[in-house]
Amino acid sequence: DESGPAAEPSPWLRALADHFDDHRADYDDLDRRAGDGDFGANMQVAFASSVARAAGPDASLADDLRSMADAFGNDVGGSSGPLLGLVLTGLAEAVEDAGDDDLPAAVGEGLRAGMASVTRAGGAEPGDRTFLDALAPAVAEDGTPLDGAAVQRAADGAAATADLVGKRGRSSYVGDKAIGVPDPGAVALVQVLAAIVER
Ligand code: ADP
Ligand code: MG
Ligand code: MG
C-alpha cells in the first residue's frame, strides 16, 4: 500500500540519507564554486526518494541498490541523477546474482559496468573532473573487488580532482576557477562506496 507510512530503510541507507541531509550545504557550496550550486539539493532529493522507495529495514543490498537506481534515474534533476543512476543500476544488476562471499567482487564488477554506461551516456573519461575520477581508480582492473583499499583509491582520486580543469559538465564552463575545489560528484561517490563497504 503506497499510501501507508514509509517503513524505515536499512541502516546503511538511512545513514547515507542522513549524511546527504547534514551536508547538503557543503555539497551545494562545492558545486557553486565549479558549477551551478545545486548538487547538494540534488543528492538530498535522490536519497529522500531512495528511502521512500526502499523495501524496508531488512531489504537486501540488491534491493536497496535497485531502489536507489530508480530514485536517481527518475526523481533527480541535473546530470548527476541519471549518471549516478547508471552506476547504481550496474551495481544492482551485478549484486542480484551474487552470494554473500562474492559480494566485494560483484560490487567491483557492477561498478565497472556502471562506469562504461556513464562514459557511453555522458562522454566523460577519467581526467575530465567528474565522479569517474573517483570511480576509475577504485576498480581499475577487471576483477578488482570493492574493499577498503578501493575506497581509499576513490578518496584519493576525488581529492585529486581539485587540481583538474573540467572537460565535461558545468565545471567545464568555469575553467581554472575550479582549481582547488574537488568535484562534488566525486566526493559524494566516495561516501556511497564507503557506505557499501562498511554496511
Ligand atoms: P548539473 O551540472 O546538471 O547541475 P549536478 O550538480 O547534479 O548536475 O551534478 C554535477 C556532477 O555531475 C559533477 O560533480 C560531476 O561529477 C557529474 N558529471 C557532470 N557531467 C558528467 C559527465 N558527462 N559524466 C560523468 N559525470 C558527470
Ligand atoms: Mg549542479
Ligand atoms: Mg543543475
Residue 4 lies in a domain: no
CA distance 134 to 157: 5
Least confident stretch, 2-6, 111-115, 130-134: 2-6
Work out the average pLDDT over 73-101: 94
| CB contact at 8 A, 54 and 67 | yes
pTM score, whole prediction? 0.95
Query: What CATH number does the domain containing 69 carry?
Result: 1.25.40.340
Ligand 1: atom nearest CA of 76 is 7
Q: How confident is the model at residue 7 (pLDDT cuts 50, 70, 90)?
A: confident
Q: Tell the burial category of 58 from Cβ atoms under 10 Å away from its Cβ (0-12, 13-18, 19+).
A: exposed
For atom 19 of ligand 1, the residue with the nearest CA is 169
- Whether residue 3 is predicted with pLDDT greater than 60 in this model: the reply is no
Judge whether 88 lies within some domain.
Answer: yes
Which residues approach ligand 1 with their CB closer than 6 A? 31, 35-36, 38-39, 42, 78-80, 83, 118, 122-124, 130-132, 168-170, 183-186
| Count of domains observed in the chain | 1
d(CA 93, ligand 3 centre) in Å: 28
Cα angle at 85 between 80 and 9, to 5 degrees? 110
Nearest atom in ligand 1 to 35's CA: 2
pLDDT at 6: 63
Residue 2 forms part of a structural domain: no
Confidence of residue 5 (pLDDT cuts 50, 70, 90): low
Query: Which residue's alpha carbon is nearest to atom 21 within ligand 1?
Result: 169
What spacing in Å lies between the alpha carbon of 75 and ligand 3's midpoint? 14
Please compute the mean of the pLDDT values over residues 17-36 and round it to a whole number: 97
6 in a structural domain:
no
Reduce the DSSP state of residue 110 to 3 states and report it.
helix
Residue 1 pLDDT more than 80? no
How far is the C-alpha of 41 from the C-alpha of 117, rounded, in Å? 24
**From CA 46, how far away is CA 189, in angstroms rounded?**
13
Nearest-CA residue for atom 15 of ligand 1: 130
Query: How many Å separate Cα 119 from the centre of its chain?
Result: 15
Name 87's Cβ contacts closer than 8 Å, sequence gap at least 6. Answer: 111, 114, 115, 117, 118, 131, 135, 189
95 domain-assigned: yes
Q: Is residue 1 part of a domain?
A: no
Q: Whose CA is nearest to atom 1 of ligand 1?
A: 78
Mean local confidence (pLDDT), 123-130: 96
**Has residue 145 been placed in a domain?**
yes
Q: What is the mean pLDDT of residues 176-199?
A: 95
Instruction: Give residue 23's domain range.
Output: 11-198
The per-residue pLDDT for 97 is: 85
| Eight-state DSSP code of residue 9 | -
pLDDT at 176 over 90: no
Give the mean model confidence (pLDDT) for residues 78-100: 94
Cell of 82: 541519471
The answer to whether residue 2 scores a pLDDT higher than 60 is no
Residue owning the nearest CA to atom 26 of ligand 1? 130
